Structure 1
Protein backbone atom coordinates (compact mmCIF):
# COMPACT_ATOMS: atom_id res chain seq x y z
CA UNK A 1 0.00 0.00 0.00
CA UNK A 2 1.44 3.33 -1.08
CA UNK A 3 0.41 6.35 0.99
CA UNK A 4 0.48 9.63 -0.98
CA UNK A 5 3.05 12.19 0.04
CA UNK A 6 0.35 14.80 0.67
CA UNK A 7 -1.26 12.66 3.39
CA UNK A 8 2.03 12.22 5.20
CA UNK A 9 2.76 15.95 4.99
CA UNK A 10 -0.73 16.72 6.30
CA UNK A 11 -0.17 14.39 9.27
CA UNK A 12 3.18 16.06 9.89
CA UNK A 13 1.58 19.51 9.81
CA UNK A 14 -1.05 18.37 12.33
CA UNK A 15 1.63 16.99 14.66
CA UNK A 16 3.64 20.18 14.34
CA UNK A 17 0.57 22.33 15.09
CA UNK A 18 -0.30 20.28 18.17
CA UNK A 19 3.30 20.58 19.38
CA UNK A 20 3.34 24.35 18.90
CA UNK A 21 -0.01 24.64 20.67
CA UNK A 22 1.32 22.62 23.61
CA UNK A 23 4.49 24.73 23.87
CA UNK A 24 2.62 28.04 23.69
CA UNK A 25 -0.46 27.32 25.80
CA UNK A 26 0.65 24.93 28.54
CA UNK A 27 2.46 25.98 31.68
CA UNK A 28 3.62 22.62 33.01
CA UNK A 29 7.24 21.91 32.11
CA UNK A 30 6.72 18.25 31.19
CA UNK A 31 3.87 19.11 28.81
CA UNK A 32 6.06 21.73 27.14
CA UNK A 33 8.77 19.09 26.68
CA UNK A 34 6.21 16.73 25.15
CA UNK A 35 5.22 19.50 22.73
CA UNK A 36 8.84 19.94 21.71
CA UNK A 37 9.10 16.20 21.09
CA UNK A 38 6.00 16.37 18.89
CA UNK A 39 7.66 19.11 16.85
CA UNK A 40 10.77 16.94 16.44
CA UNK A 41 8.64 13.98 15.36
CA UNK A 42 6.81 16.11 12.78
CA UNK A 43 10.17 17.17 11.33
CA UNK A 44 11.33 13.53 11.26
CA UNK A 45 8.16 12.49 9.49
CA UNK A 46 8.80 15.13 6.83
CA UNK A 47 12.39 14.02 6.38
CA UNK A 48 11.49 10.35 6.00
CA UNK A 49 8.56 11.14 3.67
CA UNK A 50 10.73 13.17 1.32
CA UNK A 51 13.47 10.54 1.52
CA UNK A 52 10.94 7.88 0.54
CA UNK A 53 9.81 10.12 -2.30
CA UNK A 54 13.34 9.90 -3.77
CA UNK A 55 14.56 6.37 -2.92
CA UNK A 56 18.00 6.95 -4.48
CA UNK A 57 18.99 9.30 -1.66
CA UNK A 58 19.08 8.23 1.99
CA UNK A 59 20.06 11.65 3.30
CA UNK A 60 16.61 12.32 4.80
CA UNK A 61 16.66 9.08 6.75
CA UNK A 62 20.19 9.68 8.03
CA UNK A 63 19.32 13.20 9.09
CA UNK A 64 16.17 11.87 10.76
CA UNK A 65 18.28 9.41 12.76
CA UNK A 66 20.49 12.30 13.86
CA UNK A 67 17.43 14.31 14.94
CA UNK A 68 16.17 11.33 16.97
CA UNK A 69 19.51 11.09 18.77
CA UNK A 70 19.55 14.82 19.50
CA UNK A 71 15.93 14.66 20.73
CA UNK A 72 16.77 11.79 23.10
CA UNK A 73 19.72 13.71 24.54
CA UNK A 74 17.58 16.86 24.80
CA UNK A 75 14.85 14.96 26.64
CA UNK A 76 17.31 13.54 29.16
CA UNK A 77 18.93 16.90 29.87
CA UNK A 78 15.59 18.74 29.97
CA UNK A 79 14.08 16.24 32.41
CA UNK A 80 17.13 16.58 34.65
CA UNK A 81 16.69 20.35 34.59
CA UNK A 82 12.96 20.04 35.34
CA UNK A 83 13.69 17.77 38.31
CA UNK A 84 16.26 20.25 39.64
CA UNK A 85 13.87 23.18 39.21
CA UNK A 86 11.16 21.17 40.98
CA UNK A 87 13.51 20.49 43.89
CA UNK A 88 14.34 24.16 44.22
CA UNK A 89 10.94 25.81 43.60
CA UNK A 90 8.65 22.88 44.63
CA UNK A 91 6.62 23.35 41.43
CA UNK A 92 6.83 22.36 37.77
CA UNK A 93 4.51 25.16 36.68
CA UNK A 94 6.60 27.45 34.48
CA UNK A 95 4.66 30.62 35.24
CA UNK A 96 5.15 30.11 39.00
CA UNK A 97 8.88 29.51 38.55
CA UNK A 98 9.27 32.79 36.67
CA UNK A 99 7.32 34.79 39.26
CA UNK A 100 9.16 33.21 42.23
CA UNK A 101 12.55 34.00 40.75
CA UNK A 102 11.92 37.74 40.58
Structure 2
Protein backbone atom coordinates (compact mmCIF):
# COMPACT_ATOMS: atom_id res chain seq x y z
CA UNK A 1 0.00 0.00 0.00
CA UNK A 2 1.24 3.50 -0.85
CA UNK A 3 1.97 5.69 2.17
CA UNK A 4 -0.13 8.78 2.78
CA UNK A 5 2.90 11.08 2.75
CA UNK A 6 3.46 10.39 -0.95
CA UNK A 7 -0.03 11.60 -1.78
CA UNK A 8 0.49 14.73 0.31
CA UNK A 9 3.77 15.48 -1.49
CA UNK A 10 2.06 15.09 -4.88
CA UNK A 11 -0.80 17.35 -3.75
CA UNK A 12 1.66 19.98 -2.50
CA UNK A 13 3.56 19.86 -5.78
CA UNK A 14 0.30 20.27 -7.71
CA UNK A 15 -0.72 23.19 -5.51
CA UNK A 16 2.59 25.01 -5.96
CA UNK A 17 2.54 24.37 -9.72
CA UNK A 18 -0.98 25.81 -9.85
CA UNK A 19 -0.04 28.91 -7.86
CA UNK A 20 3.05 29.45 -10.02
CA UNK A 21 1.01 29.07 -13.21
CA UNK A 22 -1.68 31.42 -11.91
CA UNK A 23 0.81 34.14 -11.06
CA UNK A 24 3.01 33.91 -14.17
CA UNK A 25 0.69 33.12 -17.10
CA UNK A 26 -0.87 35.77 -19.30
CA UNK A 27 -3.46 33.64 -21.09
CA UNK A 28 -6.84 33.29 -19.42
CA UNK A 29 -7.02 29.65 -20.46
CA UNK A 30 -3.68 28.90 -18.78
CA UNK A 31 -4.87 30.69 -15.65
CA UNK A 32 -8.05 28.58 -15.68
CA UNK A 33 -5.97 25.41 -15.96
CA UNK A 34 -3.84 26.55 -13.02
CA UNK A 35 -6.94 27.08 -10.91
CA UNK A 36 -8.16 23.60 -11.83
CA UNK A 37 -4.77 22.20 -10.79
CA UNK A 38 -5.11 23.85 -7.39
CA UNK A 39 -8.65 22.51 -6.96
CA UNK A 40 -7.49 18.99 -7.82
CA UNK A 41 -4.72 19.27 -5.22
CA UNK A 42 -7.33 20.20 -2.64
CA UNK A 43 -9.46 17.21 -3.68
CA UNK A 44 -6.49 14.88 -3.20
CA UNK A 45 -6.01 16.34 0.28
CA UNK A 46 -9.70 15.74 1.09
CA UNK A 47 -9.41 12.09 0.14
CA UNK A 48 -6.07 11.59 1.94
CA UNK A 49 -7.14 13.19 5.20
CA UNK A 50 -10.42 11.28 5.09
CA UNK A 51 -8.42 8.04 4.81
CA UNK A 52 -6.10 9.15 7.62
CA UNK A 53 -8.68 10.40 10.11
CA UNK A 54 -11.71 8.20 9.33
CA UNK A 55 -10.61 5.00 7.57
CA UNK A 56 -14.14 3.55 7.50
CA UNK A 57 -15.91 6.80 6.53
CA UNK A 58 -16.50 8.36 3.15
CA UNK A 59 -17.11 12.01 4.08
CA UNK A 60 -13.91 13.31 2.48
CA UNK A 61 -14.54 11.35 -0.70
CA UNK A 62 -18.06 12.72 -1.05
CA UNK A 63 -16.78 16.23 -0.41
CA UNK A 64 -14.11 15.72 -3.10
CA UNK A 65 -16.73 14.51 -5.59
CA UNK A 66 -18.88 17.54 -4.77
CA UNK A 67 -15.86 19.83 -5.27
CA UNK A 68 -15.12 18.20 -8.64
CA UNK A 69 -18.71 18.88 -9.73
CA UNK A 70 -18.42 22.53 -8.64
CA UNK A 71 -15.09 22.85 -10.50
CA UNK A 72 -16.65 21.44 -13.67
CA UNK A 73 -19.46 24.00 -13.52
CA UNK A 74 -16.94 26.77 -12.83
CA UNK A 75 -14.87 25.70 -15.83
CA UNK A 76 -17.88 25.73 -18.13
CA UNK A 77 -18.81 29.25 -17.05
CA UNK A 78 -15.21 30.49 -17.34
CA UNK A 79 -14.83 29.05 -20.84
CA UNK A 80 -18.09 30.71 -21.88
CA UNK A 81 -16.78 34.03 -20.56
CA UNK A 82 -13.49 33.53 -22.42
CA UNK A 83 -15.33 32.81 -25.68
CA UNK A 84 -17.36 35.99 -25.23
CA UNK A 85 -14.19 38.02 -24.54
CA UNK A 86 -12.49 36.54 -27.59
CA UNK A 87 -15.46 37.43 -29.80
CA UNK A 88 -15.29 41.04 -28.69
CA UNK A 89 -11.52 41.64 -28.43
CA UNK A 90 -10.05 38.91 -30.68
CA UNK A 91 -7.59 38.13 -27.89
CA UNK A 92 -7.72 36.35 -24.52
CA UNK A 93 -4.51 37.72 -23.03
CA UNK A 94 -4.88 39.13 -19.54
CA UNK A 95 -2.81 42.18 -20.48
CA UNK A 96 -5.42 43.26 -23.04
CA UNK A 97 -8.30 43.06 -20.56
CA UNK A 98 -8.13 46.52 -19.01
CA UNK A 99 -11.84 47.02 -18.50
CA UNK A 100 -15.08 45.17 -18.97
CA UNK A 101 -17.20 46.29 -21.91
CA UNK A 102 -20.96 46.09 -22.11
Normalised TM-score (structure 1): 0.92
Task: Give the Cα separation in 2 of the matches to 1:3 and 1:72.
Answer: 28
Task: Give the Cα separation in 2 of the matches to 1:100 and 1:80.
Answer: 15
| Cross-structure match for 2:70 | 70
| Cross-structure match for 1:89 | 89
Task: Give the Cα separation in 1 of the matches to 2:85 and 2:2.
Answer: 44
CA RMSD of aligned residues (A): 1.5
| Equivalent residues in 2 for 1:5-24, closer than 5 Å | 5-24=4-23
Matched residue count: 100
Q: Shift in Å at residue 6 of structure 1?
A: 1.0
Structure 2 unmatched runs, 5+: none
Structure 1 unmatched runs, 5+: none
| Equivalent residues in 2 for 1:19-98, closer than 5 Å | 19-53=18-52, 54-98=54-98
Q: Shift in Å at residue 3 of structure 1?
A: 1.1
